[in-house]
Chains A and B, each alone.
Chain A
């Protein structure tokens, strides 16, 4: 009988990826999905796996700025890419503190999370969507529906998540 070793050297690759602005490197089995590589190899456990089949959106991260379900992408596929996770949404201020992204602020202000498990996926998806649009324009309900429509949340009933999107859009417009 042949020995089965999925982690043997010839099935591993070294992946170089910029995560939240920091160059990172990990040697991973080729079958490892991005979500597991982020969580287990890079220690970024803010990205959560809710279904592992691409439906719930909890594991969403940004790859070169676009939302991607990290449970459906292999780590080796993002070699050379820029990845943003929920840990990378806030930016540092000049005193070593943290300035939250307007979407993060809005989620807290509007009570848009309860258990918080699905929240990282919503946050990165909405942040990317709000940054890609014309900030000076009033956000429409269609836009709000589009930004929250692809992720599952079992706690909030979505009303406050939609409210947070409007709130964040208004903050980003006023900050211009």
Chain B
């Protein structure tokens, strides 16, 4: 199906001569999945954006729901969203603070403090992609009674981008300009046409803190603000008490701006302990209502679920566990730097070796025996939202074919069974972080590779070292002083732009950027770079999706990156709790809509 045909079909849906269902069915005939088809409609303005994405809210009055008890096996340590290092702190802050809009599980926007989601139709988006105008709700008050207005929104921009504040959200704010149009309208302006405009003031980095509480603490003394630990927000629950690293308590906000919400009278977020016992406390003993991010073997979860008290929630997101084959040589030192971009990996520069490596990992076994529901096998690096998922890739586990490819490419087995060519032996150091499923994956990979004449030397590094930004440490994943490595990369937004910059040539990690570059595998491809540049300013959503799909096909097709399994969000809740979850936003993104069925 060509782009023109697609456009014509969408046009017919808009005019009303084709039903939405008919559109989906027609696209299915061309191999498009149903979610992808509906999303095509949504982004081209032919479907109500977030209407279906949020489940219906049944309670008919505010409060009366008793206590909501949530268990995190990591504990929140601070409550200022602009200082949040990691999701746990964002979640804790999200109980009290709200952004202008949040991301639903389908990757569409849902207005929270905004009166409506900006679009070209309602005049919120400028056709040239250089600005977005947000209209704010008018009836919103902070917990202390002060009215919420555009000044608060402007203040968050100033606060976050101030270098002395040291905000972790500054990446979303430093390159934009924010203008107050009137008391309830703000305009975010971009230097260049920006198709992905929903970053500042949206979702986890977009939580708005009150100007009147923080205005005297902009600068190096930002951490002295009393409101850092006693938040005053706009959210459904008001602050009661907080013990860092342990317990957060809140009570119902009787003046919340969305009607009949929230359902619960009090909220309690307890932190600490481990994931397995957190799952137990919900699924087996029912002491808590909800347990977050259960990175627990699926077998255990199924056994606990059998108690019948609670269930496991699986929410699809973009996180993916994948293997990287180093494009550079980790064993040669150039200017005091290993894995230098001027070098080439002696074995992986041969496409045959990379292709063989991709054939040697049994994803079906990973899914069945290790990850279960928490890790469906995938052949794509970019998996979600569905509109960006490539239909062009396949995965296969085939040792015989790997052997055949290597034989044909001239890699012959030596006396010890390891293949050699021109003095290069297929013996690779394969590193990852210490984590039981990863070590089991390494073992499965090693066994299969052995049968194809490839010897993998397994190495596992403590997570706090592997994922640190410590320049002095040789074992960090960004230094990549190994032939292969494996980890999960997270996709915190429903837009793949930030996610796909992991393979552009200007992001290559090197000494010059203190190994902070995002292209860790050090792969370079002119077509990929060009596609990425084009996607950065492509305003047509369909063309842009096609560009990202092309990028995915390029990197996966190079076999320098071997996607293994998707990592959806796994959590547990009691049978009668109705949480509203999304993988594109925090767990607490729509806490006001949580309720208990009676």
* A and B held together in a complex: no
**Chain B residues within 8 Å of A, Cβ to Cβ:** none
**Chain A residues within 8 Å of B, Cβ to Cβ:** none
